[in-house]
Amino acid sequence: MGFHFPVADLKKPTAAAVRPALAKIVDYFLHVGPAELAQPAFGTTDHMSAPALHDESVGLLNLLAAAERVLKASGIDDFLLTDILEPDVRRLRAIFSAVINYAKFHTTRMEKCEEVAAASAALRARRDEVADRLEGDRSRLAAATAARDAEAPELAALRPQLDEANAALGAAKAAQARLQDAKVAAKQRHLDTAAATARLEMLTADRAASVAALSAKVVPSPRRALADLAAMDAELTTRTAAVAAAAAAVRAVEAAAGALDGAAAAARPLLPAAAAAAERKGRCERAEAEEVSASATVDAADAAAAAAAEELADAVGRSAGLRERLDRIRGDGAARRAAAAEEAGRGAAAVAAADRARGEAVERAAAAEAATAGG
Flag the least confident range among 211-220, 275-284, 291-300: 211-220
What is the predicted pLDDT for the residue at 340?
59
Chain center to CA of 108? 34
**DSSP secondary structure string for all residues of 105-144:** IIIIIHHHHHHHHHHHHHHHHHHHHHHHHHHHHHHHHHHH
Q: Please, what is the Cα angle at 311 between 309 and 315, to 5 degrees?
A: 115
What is the predicted pLDDT for the residue at 56?
59
What is the predicted pLDDT for the residue at 366?
77
What is the predicted pLDDT for the residue at 264?
61
Q: Please, what is the Cα angle at 353 between 351 and 359, to 5 degrees?
A: 100
What is the predicted pLDDT for the residue at 155?
77
Span 204-209, mean pLDDT?
76
Are 204 and 237 a contacting pair, CB within 8 Å?
Answer: no
Span 249-266, mean pLDDT?
68
Q: Does residue 41 register a pLDDT over 60?
A: no
What is the predicted pLDDT for the residue at 29?
82
Q: For residue 120, give every residue at least 6 positions away whose Cβ sits within 8 Å of its Cβ, in sequence order, or none.
A: 312, 315, 316, 319
Residues of the chain above pLDDT 90, percent: 0
Span 285-304, mean pLDDT?
73
Q: Does residue 100 register a pLDDT over 80?
A: yes
In this prediction, residue 270 has a pLDDT band, given cuts at 50, 70 and 90, of low
What is the predicted pLDDT for the residue at 331?
75
What is the predicted pLDDT for the residue at 351?
65
Distance CA(284)–CA(272), nearest Å, equals 18
Query: Highest mean pLDDT: which of 126-140, 167-181, 256-270, 319-333?
Result: 126-140
What is the predicted pLDDT for the residue at 295?
72
Flag the least confident range among 28-32, 96-100, 272-276: 272-276
What is the predicted pLDDT for the residue at 344?
59
What is the predicted pLDDT for the residue at 223?
66
Q: For residue 105, give every residue at least 6 positions away whose Cβ sits within 8 Å of its Cβ, in sequence order, or none.
A: 326, 329
Q: How many CA atoms lie within 13 A of 211 on its CB side?
A: 9
Q: How many CA atoms lie within 13 A of 128 on its CB side?
A: 5
| All domains in the chain, ordered by first residue | 151-303 (1.10.287)
Model pLDDT for residues 5-32, shown as the tens digit of each residue: 777 777 888 888 888 888 888 888 888 8
Span 232-258, mean pLDDT?
71
Distance CA(289)–CA(148), nearest Å, equals 11
The Cβ of residue 8 has, within 10 Å, a number of other Cβ atoms equal to 9
Mean pLDDT of the chain: 76
Q: Does residue 146 register a pLDDT over 80?
A: yes
Span 144-161, mean pLDDT?
82
Distance CA(54)–CA(84), nearest Å, equals 18
Flag the least confident range among 51-60, 72-81, 139-148: 51-60
Model pLDDT for residues 358-375, shown as the tens digit of each residue: 778 778 777 777 777 765
Model pLDDT for residues 338-352, shown as the tens digit of each residue: 775 677 567 667 667
List C-alpha distances in Å: 91 to 24, 54, 86.
18, 28, 10
Distance CA(303)–CA(314), nearest Å, equals 16
Q: Please, what is the Cα angle at 15 between 45 and 17, to 5 degrees?
A: 125
Q: For residue 83, give every residue at least 6 positions away whose Cβ sits within 8 Å of its Cβ, in sequence order, or none.
A: 18, 91, 92, 95
| 98-108 CB burial, b ≥16 within 10 A, e <16 | bbebbbebbee
Chain center to CA of 155? 36
Are 137 and 294 a contacting pair, CB within 8 Å?
Answer: yes
What is the predicted pLDDT for the residue at 273?
66
In this prediction, residue 263 has a pLDDT band, given cuts at 50, 70 and 90, of low
3-state secondary structure of 77: coil
In this prediction, residue 288 has a pLDDT band, given cuts at 50, 70 and 90, of confident
Q: Does residue 355 register a pLDDT over 80?
A: no
| 13-49 CB burial, b ≥16 within 10 A, e <16 | beeebbbebbbebbebbeebeeeebeeebeeeeeeee
3-state secondary structure of 375: coil
